[in-house]
Amino acid sequence: MEADTVKLAPSILAADFARMGEQVAEAEQAGADRIHIDVMDGHFVPSLSMGAPIVQSLRRVTRLRLEIHMMIMNPDSFLEKFVEAGSDSFLVHWEGNNNLHRTVRRIKELGKYAGVVVNPATPAAVLEEILPELDQVLVMTVNPGFGHQHFLHSTLPKIERVRQMVGRFDGGCEVGVDGGINQETAPLASAAGAGVLVAGSSIFGDSLGVATAMSGLRASIARHKSNLLAVKTFP
């Protein structure tokens, strides 16, 4: 995946909540493709996090796509509320969903982008039947529920398998990754076939600022690709 075609989705779970609007604006100015919002209910995952009021507040400060990662039980019950708040897309987990096809169809009926998330231990094969319906597949490269986790390198072959599966359909489905993305792991995920990188701590936790952090991620991907080309062309 070319560095300039990889899309960055800053995750506001790692933002400074006292400066969230300001940091989202910085991410937009630095060329972010979308804003990733983790919604956690304390049941599907142990943590609690943002609800529709956060989305409503962010809608006023950015034109970027607001992407809702629904780490919750019964996501169908919350879709309309998040749509009213200004959400543009929804990512729902394969795990624990009572009727995934119905959920995806409902998201589409609401006029929004629909994606499915798979946890590290979930095989890519579970996506086979639902894939033609999707705008995105998000491969978790950490176990969901907490920030600041280390990238699980064992997920790289699965990213490749998902990319191959998506390639068999002509539907424009994106392949994204979420978890432990930084300047060391972003090139690996990109090389495996990820076109969307969700990154939290490495963007909002960078002491040099959001724009510098995002430039650093893109540069790391470009360097990795350049090194691979150099190795391939070395006599």
Catalytic residues: 38, 178
What's the gap between Cα 121 and its chain centre? 17
Contact in structure between 196 and 176 (CB atoms under 8 Å): yes
Helix %, strand %, coil % of the chain (to 5): 45, 20, 35
What is the Cα Rg of the chain in Å?
17
Contact in structure between 142 and 120 (CB atoms under 8 Å): yes
The token pair that represents 28 in the structure block:
């937009």
Q: Where are the alpha helices (DSSP H) in the chain?
A: 20-29, 52-59, 79-85, 100-109, 156-167, 186-192, 201-204, 210-233
SS3 124: helix
The token pair that represents 194 in the structure block:
């990820």
